[in-house]
Amino acid sequence: MPTKLRLLFMLLLASALMVSTGTGAFAHRLLLEHENGVFRVQYDSGTPAARATVRLLDEAGGVLWQGLADGQGRVKPPSLSFTRALADDGLGHLAEYKPGRAVRQTPRPLAVFLGVSFFLFVAGLGRYLQTKRQPKELKR
């Protein structure tokens, strides 16, 4: 198979794989939001993190309060002055909330675009380096 045709085939195959598996991502983040005295623990897909542990911490890192989220991922702690809150779903996902700090998240389409762009850049760089190493007679 000619080199250009093989490269085109590989790009089409990679694109098809990304599109076909794009709806069922296995990696996700845990998010911890606080509004009106209630914490909501959820994954970035919107699924509640039921039974996640939420801890309120003081400045020294000591635990002021600890509780479990309900089936909807909500937990209402007592009114305490805390410096940060941590959520742990017991599966290795952790989230942190600090009062007064705005949480910025990269929009999912932008994150996907940046990830795909990175892999295409690496593939293009590899292709460039490969063609640069070939003798001039074989470059046709």
Q: Are residues 89 and 114 in the same domain?
A: no
Choose between 112 and 65: higher pLDDT.
65
Residue 75 lies in domain: 30-97
Choose between 126 and 49: higher pLDDT.
49
Q: Are residues 37 and 91 in the same domain?
A: yes
Distance set, CA 52 to CA 6, 80, 118, 134 (Å): 48, 20, 34, 56
Q: Are residues 55 and 90 in the same domain?
A: yes
pLDDT tens by residue, 8-59 = 777 777 776 666 555 444 557 899 999 999 999 999 888 999 989 999 999 9
Give residue 21's pLDDT.
55
Residue 120 in domain = yes
pLDDT tens by residue, 70-116 = 999 999 999 999 999 999 999 888 999 998 876 556 566 777 788 88
This prediction's pTM: 0.57
Residue 6 in domain = no
Q: Cβ distance 86 to 34 under 8 Å?
A: no
Q: 52: left (phi > 0), else alpha (psi -120 to 50), else beta?
A: beta
In total, how many domains does the chain have? 2
Q: Are residues 74 and 125 in the same domain?
A: no
Give residue 25's pLDDT.
45
Residue 121 in domain = yes
> 4: part of which helix (H) or strand (E)?
helix 3-21
Q: Cβ distance 49 to 73 under 8 Å?
A: yes
Q: Are residues 91 and 115 in the same domain?
A: no
Q: Are residues 38 and 62 in the same domain?
A: yes
